[in-house]
Every structure is written in structure tokens, then in C-alpha cells.
Amino acid sequence: MNLNARIPSGPIEQRWDKARFDLKLVNPANKRKYNVIVVGSGLAGGSAAATLGELGYNVKCFCFQDSPRRAHSIAAQGGINAAKNYQNDGDSVYRLFYDTVKGGDFRARESNVYRLAQVSVSIIDQCVAQGVPFAREYGGLLSNRSFGGAQVSRTFYARGQTGQQLLLGAYQALERQIDAGKVKMLPRTEMLDLIVIDGKARGIVARNLVTGRIDVHMADAVVLATGGYGNVFYLSTNAKGSNTTAIWRAYKRGAAFGNPCYTQIHPTCIPQSGDYQSKLTLMSESLRNDGRIWVPLKKGDTRSADQIPESERDYYLERMYPSFGNLSPRDIASRAAKRVCDEGRGVGPTGLGVYLDFSDAIRRLGQKTIAERYGNLFEIYERITGEDPYTVPMRIYPAVHYTMGGLWVDYHLMSTIPGLFVLGEANFSDHGANRLGASALMQGLSDGYFVIPYTLGNYLASEKFAKVDESHPEAVAALAQTQSLTKQLLAIKGKRTVSSFHRELGKLMWDFCGMARNAQGLEQAAGKIAGLREEFWKNVNVAGEAGDLNQSLESAGRVADFLELGELMCHDARVREESCGGHFREEYQTPDGEAQRNDEQFAHVAAWEYQGPNQKPVRHQEELQFEYVKPVQRSYK
């Protein structure tokens, strides 16, 4: 497998410019002759489809939701980073680049990250011009806040709904192209396979989720922007529909999967309340700006929070990381919460929770100020838990939030299958082993608005495309295979529901491949997952019919893929014998319990190549060069 990342040469700050000059252009009159498929309509997919439509390509955009406006990007609360330095507080493109590489625990590709930081500036301009109502100061200029442990204020936000507003901007741009006839939107349509002809991605197989009809769609290039796979854990902050199916089936067609084990666990989520729980809700990280995190000093202390005197509280983040305190990066804050709960000092009915306490802030700033800053978040919390955070401290616990891993892509965002491009959370590229707060939105829009329009054009201009249509043997075969898979799922009629399998898989993943992992647990989990998968194909009960709107069938296909992906994640976590970012191996930690990287052996991307059903995949490596940011141990003490 060829893992040529196609990184341009020269000084890092000139690489993107150089690449843009070297990239071939498609003649404006010829653009309409190219057909491009975009799967996914979130920040990455929506912005890509809109921009490619504006440029003149014929775009077909797919999403499984009823409207492109519902993609899960919509749920991002906090904000979007950009190196604008409007605050004059020392930010720069270089600093954003540096922070991102360091925050990713030196497991990201420098050139990609630098480009991301460069492009971040244009994203804000573009979104403002679209009418995104970013927060503003009284003088009428854009407001910024510091976010997720950053030392500068570079985060732009629209109340607690930044993702929503950015997505609506991209969605509106997309609708404009739909109206202009440049983009054909296929909502309620789910990609189920990739069609590869002569080694190039030439189309997809997709199921119309209303009629159940499975069709082949051909194109000259395929762009996947289908988001992350956090739902492999069943409980996560992802939307219920978020899934791995598109990228997983592309993986099975030959696209390498990069760093599948890198998972981000977000420290501030509402704890689980029961077995029926269907998802976890994130409470924006911005709460940590004013809330103090603590647990009782004593094990098994069942007193209510107001009965525990100051001297018997452990503000453990402030104690362990005095300089960053409650604002320590996500991976660190999450692990610390797990550690104190494992010690038996967790709070709440399950003992899996820590307090996020605003009483100091309310005393210092007044309830009014706190309500202004976090009023809507407090409301959400009260709606879900029935407790009033103004009087009782919030309870929070870490939850799966984001997956840094994804399909391997080169500098052009092209996967190991030529013509298959992967954007946003679906690729592995920019965040290394841990993503910084407010960087996901930045990456999605950077990929979609500003990178893919150039690199896709280069691909189309450089290649010759044989005429292929739906009758091509590869397309016919892929269609038949998908149809038979659907039939097979419906025919099992076993004794267990799809979600019972999903829940069991999620628990295995959380227990053995979650916040802390070890070799023995990972091996055990991989075996159990294989067993569970076997049972799934014998004993699952999928209700309904194939030719119908059938939510059980949709979910069965997705869980079938999670059952394969989960095993790969365990393998990847097992082989990576170091701790880095979100990947914490208990065997590799410093004496004080921090992640211990092994740069000599693991400063690389693991890219897994599929070998066939129940065959062990092959692990390839892309070595990472750190020419600008020298790897050091991350310290937030």
C-alpha cells in the first residue's frame, strides 16, 4: 500500500501556496462535464457540495437525514477557532498551528495542520458574509473567547449554537446551488457501498430510506464527509444516526483506515442515569471557565454537596494542574475524572460523576452574570436532570465525543483509493491523538470550503476517465452484494434486537477501549467483539421489510459495521504501545499518571488495510516528520 502523503516541499508557510500553484486547473467550460458525489451534508460535506456547485461541477449530495440542515455538526456548541488575532493577545497562524500540533500530542501531520491554521482566517470572513450571526461587541466588531485551555482568545461563537449557525450558513449556500440546479440533493438516502473501477472511486451504492430502493450512482470522484464513529460506544454525544457505514464500506473496498483507536472523551457531559439511556448530552466546555470541579476527599461520601465542608472537598484539577486547573485539555480532564471515580470518590446515584460547582462564581459575579453566560446551558441541564444548577452543583462525567481517527488521506485529502476524498471528522488528518476545543468546526469548513475545491480539480484535470455507467460489472456486482446483505439481515429473525447488540458492543468498547486501555483488556475485548458479531449474524431480529421506510434495518446495517470497526479499534489500540492524547495505555504512563509517549517507535500514523472478512488487517505506517514543532511531553501543570 502506498502511503505517499504528497506533502509539498519548501518552508511550511509557503507549502499551501506552492501546492495551489502546482495544482492543475479544470477549464471553466469543462467543469460541468464532471460529476462529483458528496456523501454527507454537515460542515465539511455541505460546504464542499456548495462550493463545488458554485465552481460549476455537477454535484450529487447525499444525506441520510430528511434535510441537509440536520447533519450532526449542528449540535456543536462552543465555537470555531481562527488565527485572526483580533484581540491582539499574541495569536498568529503559527501559534494556532503550534497549539494544534501540541494539543494533538504530536501525532498529526504538520503540513496539514499549518494549512488548517492558515485557512482558518478565511473561514470566518466567509461565514460572516453568509450572515452567520457571530457574537459581537458593543462596538459592532466580532467577539472572541478563550476556549478549551487555549491561552489566547481565538474562538468565534454564536451563543451556544455555533455549529448550528455555521451549518445553516453552509446549508443555505447549498440550497442556493440546489435552486440553481448545480447540486442535486438526495436526502433520506444512505450510502451503502463504494464502487471502485480500475482502481478509482467511480460511484456509490445507496439506499433510498423511504422506498427502500437500492441504486447505483456513478461519478468521476467521490467525496465522503460522513462524520465520526463515536457511536461504536453506543452511548456518546453523537446524534443517534451518526455512523461509520460509509467510511467502513470504503475501507472494505481498499481505503486505509488511519488511527482508528484515537477517540476523544469529552469531560463535561451529563452522567448516565439508567440502562434505557439512548445518548449522552454534552455540556459546553465553556462551563469550565467559571465552574470548579471537585469530588469529596473521602471515599463513598454520600452526603449531599452542600453538607460537605470546604476542607473535605478535593478540587483535583486545580490540585494536579495548578497552571491550567479546571481548564486543562479534554483528555487530561477526562482521565482525571475517571481516576477519582475509580478511587470510589465519584458522586451521584451511580458514583460515576464529579461536581461542576458554580457557587464560587455566583458569589463572585452574581447570579445574573452567570445566567447571562450560561443560562441556556443551565436550562438544558435542569430539563434533563430535574436539578437546578444555580443551587445544586452540576454533576458531569466524561463521554465519547469525537473520533480523531478516520480514513487515511494525503495532503490533498485523497484516500488510498484514487478519486475517493475524505473530509472533516471522517478523515484522520489534523487533530493527531487529541483534538482541541473549537477545532472540529474549523477543520470541517476548511476542508470543504477551501481545500477540496483545489485538490479535487487537480485530480479531475490530471486523470483520464473511461466512460462508465450503471451497467459496469463492478457496479452491478456492488449493487447485488448490497441487496443481498439487506435480505440477509431481514431473514435472520432471531431473538435479540439490534440495539441490544449495540448496547453490549458499546459497553465492551467503553470498558476496554475507552478512557484507559491495557493489552490484556484489548485482546479480551477484540475476542468478545468477534463473538458478539458472530451472534449478531445468527440471532438479530430486524423488524419490517426491505421495500419500506424501515428504521430497524437502517440501524442493523450500521451496527453490523460497528461490530467490525470495534474490533479494529481494539487491535489498533493494542499495537500502539504508548499513551498519547486520547489513547491512554495504562502500561505506559509517567510516575504521576500522565500519558507517556514513545516517539521513537510510534511517531507515525497507523493505516490499516482490509484483507477480507475475518482476516487480520495489515498495519502500514506513515512516519510523521516534526520539522517545526519539536515533540515534548505535554505539560499543563
- Of 315-354, which residues contact another protein (CB under 8 A)? none
Mapping DSSP to helix (H, G, I), strand (E, B) and coil, where does residue 583 land?
Answer: strand
Stretch that binds another protein, among 27-35, 102-110, 271-279, 470-478 (CB under 8 A): 271-279
How far is residue 566's CA from residue 525's CA, in Å, rounded to a whole number?
A: 9
User: Is residue 158 near another protein by the rule CB under 8 A?
Assistant: yes
Stretch that binds another protein, among 171-179, 293-301, 414-422, 567-575 (CB under 8 A): 171-179
Cα–Cα distance list, 123 to 103, 170, 242, 373 (Å): 21, 11, 25, 25
Tell me how crowded residue 287 is: count the other CB atoms within 10 A of its CB. Answer: 23
Which of residues 28 and 386 has its CB atom nearest to another protein in the complex?
386
What's the min distance (Å) between Cβ of 273 and another protein? Answer: 4
List the x/- string, 479-518, binding to another protein by CB under 8 A.
Answer: ----------------x-x-xx------------------
Which of residues 296 and 448 has its CB atom nearest to another protein in the complex?
448
- Of 68-107, which residues contact another protein (CB under 8 A)? 68-70, 72, 74-75, 84, 86
Among 57, 62, 147, 171, binds another protein (CB under 8 A): 171
Using CB atoms within 10 Å of the CB of residue 279, give its burial: 0 to 12 exposed, 13 to 18 middle, 19+ buried.
middle
Question: Taking a C-beta distance cutoff of 8 angstroms, is the pair 282, 77 a contact?
Answer: yes
Stretch that binds another protein, among 129-137, 339-347, 360-368, 465-473 (CB under 8 A): 129-137
Which of residues 72 and 345 has its CB atom nearest to another protein in the complex?
72
| Residues whose CB falls within 8 Å of the CB of residue 385, separated by 6 or more in sequence, listed in order | 270, 273, 395
Among 310, 311, 383, 615, binds another protein (CB under 8 A): 383
List the x/- string, 530-549, binding to another protein by CB under 8 A.
Answer: -----------x-xx---xx
Which three cell numbers mark 14?
A: 509557503
Question: Taking a C-beta distance cutoff of 8 angstroms, is the pair 49, 58 a contact?
Answer: no
User: Is residue 168 near another protein by the rule CB under 8 A?
Assistant: yes
**Closest of 411, 405, 412 to residue 435, by C-alpha:** 405
Question: Taking a C-beta distance cutoff of 8 angstroms, is the pair 148, 437 a contact?
Answer: yes
Stretch that binds another protein, among 60-68, 396-404, 505-513, 521-529 (CB under 8 A): 60-68
Stretch that binds another protein, among 252-260, 360-368, 384-392, 622-630 (CB under 8 A): 384-392
How far is residue 80's CA from residue 135's CA, in Å, rounded to a whole number?
A: 12
Cα–Cα distance list, 506 to 253, 495, 518 (Å): 25, 19, 17
What's the min distance (Å) between Cβ of 87 and another protein? Answer: 11
Question: Taking a C-beta distance cutoff of 8 angstroms, is the pair 614, 633 a contact?
Answer: no
Which of residues 316 and 562 has its CB atom nearest to another protein in the complex?
562
How far is residue 460's CA from residue 182's CA, in Å, rounded to a whole number?
A: 18
Which of residues 352 and 530 has its CB atom nearest to another protein in the complex?
352
| Residues whose CB falls within 8 Å of the CB of residue 17, separated by 6 or more in sequence, listed in order | none
What's the min distance (Å) between Cβ of 185 and another protein? Answer: 8
**Closest of 175, 169, 170 to residue 47, by C-alpha:** 170
- Of 390-419, which residues contact another protein (CB under 8 A)? none
What's the min distance (Å) between Cβ of 168 and another protein? Answer: 7
Among 17, 66, 342, 469, binds another protein (CB under 8 A): 66
User: Is residue 11 near another protein by the rule CB under 8 A?
Assistant: no
What's the min distance (Å) between Cβ of 126 and another protein? Answer: 5
User: Is residue 265 near another protein by the rule CB under 8 A?
Assistant: no
Which three cell numbers mark 190?
A: 444512505
Backbone angles phi, psi at 258, to 5 degrees: -95, 130
Among 254, 348, 351, 453, binds another protein (CB under 8 A): 453
Stretch that binds another protein, among 178-186, 320-328, 395-403, 519-527 (CB under 8 A): 178-186
Please tell me the count of residues contacting another protein according to CB under 8 A.
Answer: 84
Element (H, E) at 21: helix 12-22
Q: Check if 383 is active-site.
A: no
User: Is residue 153 near another protein by the rule CB under 8 A?
Assistant: no
Which of residues 126 and 434 has its CB atom nearest to another protein in the complex?
126
Stretch that binds another protein, among 227-235, 269-277, 321-329, 475-483 (CB under 8 A): 269-277
The gap between the terminal CA atoms of the chain, to the nearest Å, is 42
What's the min distance (Å) between Cβ of 29 and another protein? Answer: 18
Which of residues 279 and 619 has its CB atom nearest to another protein in the complex?
279
What's the min distance (Å) between Cβ of 493 and another protein? Answer: 8
- Of 288-317, which residues contact another protein (CB under 8 A)? none
How far is residue 232's CA from residue 428's CA, in Å, rounded to a whole number?
A: 16
Question: Taking a C-beta distance cutoff of 8 angstroms, is the pair 268, 284 a contact?
Answer: yes
Question: In sequence order, what DSSP letters do the residues of 129-171 get, joined into one string?
Answer: HHT----B-TTSSBP-B--TT-SS--EE-STT-HHHHHHHHHH
Question: Taking a C-beta distance cutoff of 8 angstroms, is the pair 226, 191 a contact?
Answer: yes
Cα–Cα distance list, 541 to 281, 320, 498, 501, 537 (Å): 29, 49, 7, 10, 10
What's the min distance (Å) between Cβ of 147 and another protein? Answer: 17
Catalytic one of 109, 330, 585, 634 = 330
User: Is residue 216 near another protein by the rule CB under 8 A?
Assistant: no
What's the min distance (Å) between Cβ of 57 and another protein? Answer: 13
User: Is residue 126 near another protein by the rule CB under 8 A?
Assistant: yes
User: Is residue 627 near another protein by the rule CB under 8 A?
Assistant: no
Among 343, 379, 387, 586, binds another protein (CB under 8 A): 379
User: Is residue 466 near another protein by the rule CB under 8 A?
Assistant: no
Backbone angles phi, psi at 96, to 5 degrees: -65, -40
User: Is residue 140 near another protein by the rule CB under 8 A?
Assistant: yes
Which of residues 483 and 552 has its CB atom nearest to another protein in the complex?
552
How far is residue 53's CA from residue 176's CA, in Å, rounded to a whole number?
A: 9
Tell me how crowded residue 225 is: count the other CB atoms within 10 A of its CB. Answer: 34
Stretch that binds another protein, among 111-119, 218-226, 381-389, 467-475 (CB under 8 A): 381-389
Among 25, 180, 477, 618, binds another protein (CB under 8 A): 180
User: Is residue 225 near another protein by the rule CB under 8 A?
Assistant: no
**Closest of 566, 568, 563, 552 to residue 615, by C-alpha:** 568
User: Is residue 137 near another protein by the rule CB under 8 A?
Assistant: yes
Among 273, 304, 391, 621, binds another protein (CB under 8 A): 273
How far is residue 582's CA from residue 437's CA, in Å, rounded to a whole number?
A: 13
Q: Catalytic residues, which ones?
A: 330
